Amino acid sequence: MMKINKALKTPYYLLDEAKLIKNLEIIKTIKERSGAKVLLAQKAFSNFYFYPLMSKYLDGTTASGLYEARLGMEHFKGEVHVYAPAYKDDDFKEILNYADHIVFNSITQLNRYKDLAKANGKSIGLRINPEISTQDPEHQMYDPSSPTSRMGTRLTDFDPAIIKDISGLHFHTLCQQNADALEITLKVVEEKFGKYLHDLKWINFGGGHHLTRDDYDIDLLVKLVKHFKETYDLEVYLEPGEGVVLNAGYLVAQVLDIVKNDMHIAILDTSATCHMPDVIEMPFMPPVTGALSKSQYQYRLSGYTCLTGDNIGEYYFEKPLAIGDHIIFEDMALYTMVKNNTFNGIPLPWIYVRKTDGTDELIKSFGYLDFKNKLS
Ligand SMILES: *Cc1c(COP(=O)(O)O)cnc(C)c1O
């Protein structure tokens, strides 16, 4: 169990270097066995402190637009890929300075920018929508194959004439899934777009691969990647975000007060909506260190903003909570620091790294000006 230094000022994120290295080692094995290239999707995790370490294992980064592309170019030694649902003219011109691979969402976007991209030596691709949902229906918000999705070009909108203009195809349809969902997806991709793949240089399988989860079927993934490489003579890219930093971080908070309504409610010096917005958006309930599946001491853990629904979840503890107790939320590296905000004027948690030697290093502090400077 993670032991924390109680002298540190809460709330703070604690990134676990040893756990990150463990994940990167798993990905290294996947790369070696399959021949796939693996990129970090910065959308999930953009802590460039770790980019030098990560670039020893991964082939580069992928970006959702201009700023992530720039960050990847500036701090990560490797390829820079970018995909955006749509590009703006000004952004696109600047992206040309940073990215090697540029993926377009539609044929209109491709035609608008392809000459400029090619003149600048870029490898360009089109995102396809294979229209194969493998996710739970209640997760439509995260399902690019859902009926209302704007993500990627469907076969009906596809024009084979553009194959001569591009070097690769990209799809991204998974979210927190295993290789069985990828297998189902790839069958459909081959049925619909397979005949074009022989003329291309690469295919990108997107993100959503939970590569570092204990039950992840690495053997199946290796088989699928090899099949594409061998059948179509392609470079295969994977671009996981979550999978790279799964379980590699914590958010440490303290109990400020305990009130009672329908149950005991512990108010913490953190916030779901500010510091872990996916708890509300996804939604999900993060694991809490030491929490039990059942006991007589049940608490709703909640934030100290003025949002009534700023609740993290209901948890059971071994003994009653007390004011000042530390609460450690697990799996807090992904989609937290990249999404947090200062709603209610709530301070941003400082960021520490738990080094492999067991010491904690402060890598980022925040204060009042971080709240003030984005307003006027
Ligand atoms: C979100 C996203 C990723 C990363 O997804 P994870 O679920 O974090 O692995 C990769 N590629 C694209 C295009 C994305 O939108």
Query: Could you tell me if the CB of 81 is within 6 A of ligand 1?
Result: no
Strand, helix or coil at 306?
Answer: coil
Task: For ligand 1, say whether the CB of 44 is within 6 Å of any of its atoms.
Answer: yes
Query: Looking at residues 315-322, what average pLDDT do you find?
Result: 98
b/e sequence 348-374, b meaning 16+ C-beta within 10 Å: bbbbbbbeeeeebeeeeeeeeeebeee
Task: Name which of 58, 219, 90, 83 is nearest 151 in CA terms.
Answer: 83
Ligand 1 atom with the shortest distance to the CA of 242: 8
Residue 310 CB less than 6 A away from ligand 1: no
- Domain at 249-332+340-372: CATH code: 2.40.37.10
| Per-residue confidence (pLDDT) for residue 164, from 0 to 100 | 97
Cβ atoms of 311 and 301 closer than 8 Å: yes
Q: What is the pLDDT of residue 204?
A: 98
Checking if the pLDDT of 105 tops 90, the result is yes
Task: Supply the pTM of this predicted model.
Answer: 0.97
Q: How far apart are CA 368 and CA 342, in angstroms?
A: 10
Cα-to-centroid distance, 178 and ligand 1 (Å): 14
pLDDT digits (tens, 9 = 90+) for 88-98: 999 999 999 99
For ligand 1, the distance from its centroid to the CA atom of residue 367, given in whole angstroms, is 30
How far is 239 from 364, CA to CA, in rounded Å? 26
Q: How confident is the model at residue 139 (pLDDT cuts 50, 70, 90)?
A: confident
Compute the distance between CA of residue 345 and CA of residue 370 in angstroms, rounded to an integer: 10
Distances (CA, A) of 73 to 88, 126, 293: 20, 22, 45
Beta-bridge partners for 258: 266
Q: DSSP character for 117?
A: H
Give the number of other CB atoms < 10 A from CB of residue 39: 26
Kindly report the number of other CB atoms within 10 A of residue 321's CB atom.
17
Q: What gap in Å lies between CA 373 and CA 376, rounded to an integer? A: 7
Structure confidence at residue 137 (pLDDT): 79
Average pLDDT over residues 56-70: 98
Nearest atom in ligand 1 to 44's CA: 8
pLDDT (tens digit, 9 = 90+) per residue, 13-36? Answer: 999 999 999 999 999 999 999 999
pLDDT computed for residue 63 by the predictor: 98
pLDDT attached to residue 374: 96
In this prediction, residue 47 has a pLDDT band, given cuts at 50, 70 and 90, of very high
Q: Atom 10, ligand 1: which residue's CA is nearest?
A: 207
Identity of residue 243: G
DSSP result, 170-226? E----SSB-HHHHHHHHHHHHHHHHHHHTT-SEEE--S-B-TTSTT--HHHHHHHHH
pLDDT at 275: 98
Q: What is the pLDDT of residue 46?
A: 98
Please state, rounded to an integer, the average pLDDT across all residues of the chain. 97
Give mean pLDDT, residues 331-342.
Answer: 98
What pairs with residue 83 in β-bridges?
103
pLDDT(1) > 80: no
| Other Cβ atoms within 10 Å of 96 Cβ, number | 17
**Probe target for ligand 1 pocket from 239, 336, 337, with the most ligand atoms within 8 Å of CB:** 239
pLDDT band at 192 (very low <50, low <70, confident <90, very high): very high
Ligand 1 pocket member 83 (CB < 6 A): yes
**Pairing verdict, β 101-104 and 79-83:** parallel
Residue 136 pLDDT greater than 90, yes or no: no
pLDDT score of 87 more than 90: yes
> Percent of the chain beyond pLDDT 90?
97
Q: Measuring CA to CA, which residue among 252, 251, 250, 249 is closest to residue 326? A: 252
241 close to ligand 1 (CB < 6 Angstrom): yes
pLDDT in tens, 302-313: 999 999 999 999
Residue 107: its pLDDT value, please?
98
117: left (phi over 0), alpha (psi -120 to 50) or beta: alpha
35-245 folds as TIM Barrel (3.20.20)
Average pLDDT over residues 156-170: 98
Residue from 62, 153, 212 to probe ligand 1 pocket by mutation (most atoms less than 8 Å from CB): 62
Is pLDDT of 140 > 90?
no
Q: What is the 206 CA–ligand 1 centroid distance (Å)?
A: 6
Q: Which two tokens stand for residue 150?
A: 């704007």
Percent of the chain with pLDDT over 70: 100
Domain locations along the chain: 35-245, 249-332+340-372
pLDDT value of position 316: 98
Q: Residue 2: pLDDT band by 50, 70, 90 thresholds?
A: confident
Q: What is the spatial distance between Cα 335 and Cα 353, in angstroms, rounded to a whole number? A: 17
pLDDT confidence bin for 8, thresholds 50/70/90: very high
Pocket flag, ligand 1, residue 171 (CB < 6 Å): no
